[in-house]
A and B are shown apart, each in its own frame.
Chain A
């Protein structure tokens, strides 16, 4: 079970990333739980300054970009 968190204050690119992550995880067929973190204090708590960012099981995978679907599958898988 992977815990996926998309960090971002709710801008279009953050929603774009959340949708892309959801799709990539589903295509990989893994068990996962996706949550969106929109609180600025919580976002900086992860050490993230550039949004959108992806946190996998508590670790920041990347920040400040929306990767392509293929890249995302590699990062999550």
Chain B
């Protein structure tokens, strides 16, 4: 398959994920499908596709957001930069390590969202600032566990299928 066709398929897939995330009432609200896809693609070794997903997915998420455009795009891209550094600094191969990095990447993503929301607020670009209360911390833990579990299961499943094929 040529890379242009692959790109179009990925674009359509991200679009579907964003539509699902936004409109499917049964999906847990803390689950970020685009974020999960970015990290899974990166863990699977499709680094360039992960970057592309972060950019396009961030754009789609920004389109449906009340926050200033760029918040989700910057958060996803910056998270991927940090995860990229960690991934290549420590040789991550086991399931435990994948889960731990999944948890870490979810935390980094949330920190980035918090950072950019405060930055935009301080620079007076936006009126919305995330409030750090009990509910936020509970939400953060739930977000980390849920997304890391999804990343872990999908990555491990995909690696197992890849291993069997080989």
- Whether A and B are associated in the same complex: the answer reads no
Chain A interface residues toward B at CB < 8 A: none
